Amino acid sequence: MRREHGTPRDGWEKTIEGQGLAYHRAAHPTGLTRPYWDESVHYVFSMEEIEALEEQVEELHGMCLRAVEHVVSTGRFADFAVPEWAWEEVARSWERRDPHLYGRFDLRYDGTGPAKLLEYNADTPTSLVEASVVQWFWLQDVHPGDDQWNSLHERLIDRWRALRLPPGPVHFAFTNADETGEEAMTVAYLQETAEQAGHATISVAMEDIGWDDLGRRFVDAGDQVIRSAFKLYPWEWMLSDDFGRHAVRHATWIEPLWKALLSNKALLAVLWELHPGHPSLLPAYLDGPRELTSYISKPLLGREGASMRIVTPEGTAETPGRYGREGYVHQGFEALPDFGGQRPVLGAWVVADEAAGLGIRESTGLITDDTSSFVPHRIAD
């Protein structure tokens, strides 16, 4: 694994916008000099490194599924801040094996040993368009003789074909509250993969989904029944909404309700409890840092690196935010590797239950947040 420099393509901004990354200008906070999509640098891997990472990711995914089984069978929903009224519905969703689509592991990796799991974005993962489409076309333009860990597009289409969904169109829901356009473009891309798999689809804003109390069903703005829907709207928000009690019982949602357990950082503590000392895990606890002298406290339902606290013998650092009322997990802290002053996080994707691709975000700080940049990668020939 190494970081290399290169010359950006002429007109790269219009090129990536035409490939779906229309939100790259709005994806960053104002005032940053580095673009969100940065093709002036990229990472190079050997095939042996990628094969090892694929194996580790699929092992981690299997461990996560077994962790869900453990939580459901032991009734540990309170550890995940799931409201008590929803416990039985989460269990039923898992026992039915409600269909799931994809997820993204965030990993610490420097090329010298096993990757370490930082967290699992299993409910509403983003950076998909750049990982699946944009960096693939960058590879074809700039390094056409090399390969890339990227079978996302084909695997998504295959997964949509395999899903057993209720009759009728699949609704694809975005929220009008998205100011950057990232969510809308991610939903539109996934809608395209579903259409390529043969599904009829309809776009709908979450705000326009209605509840037909007489018919006991969800409907869109045109009063068409919603029997199945993909949403980039996290389950913790749905469970706190007025219609949450209906959502857990009506319609097939992708991602399913049981994914609320995998997208919660309490998962990290359960994994460590079930697999203590595993080389791809960092120690993690719910009741405090215990023996850890260097650790990071993460809100169970936090996003974009907000509301985190790093404690080391050298001092303490915190990020602002409004998360954490639901509780924290305390995870052993290992600083992200330094490559030329930048610290990469590997986003390893799974589709269904198989490793499917890689996206990389870089930042100068110890925590990857909304100021990070996405950089492409390649596998050297």
As to burial, measured by CB atoms within 10 angstroms (0-12 exposed, 13-18 middle, 19+ buried), residue 224 is: middle
Residue with tokens 């949450």: 244
3: pLDDT confidence band, cut at 50, 70 and 90?
very high
User: Which helix (H) or strand (E) segment is 375 a member of?
Assistant: strand 373-375
Residues listed for the chain: 381
Given a cut of 80, whether residue 142 has pLDDT beyond it is: yes
Residue type, 341: G
Q: Is 207 left (phi over 0), alpha (psi -120 to 50) or beta?
A: alpha
| Better-predicted residue by pLDDT, 187 or 366 | 187
Averaged over 287-299, what is the pLDDT? 97
Q: What is the pLDDT of residue 237?
A: 93
pTM metric for this prediction: 0.95
Given a cut of 80, whether residue 300 has pLDDT beyond it is: yes
Q: What is the pLDDT of residue 30?
A: 72
Averaged over 245-251, what is the pLDDT? 95
Spatial neighbors of 321 by CB under 8 A, at least 6 apart, are: 299, 302, 306, 307, 308
Gyration radius (Cα) of the chain, Å = 20
Averaged over 201-208, what is the pLDDT? 96
Averaged over 191-205, what is the pLDDT? 98
As to burial, measured by CB atoms within 10 angstroms (0-12 exposed, 13-18 middle, 19+ buried), residue 201 is: middle
Averaged over 4-13, what is the pLDDT? 97
Q: What is the pLDDT of residue 6?
A: 96
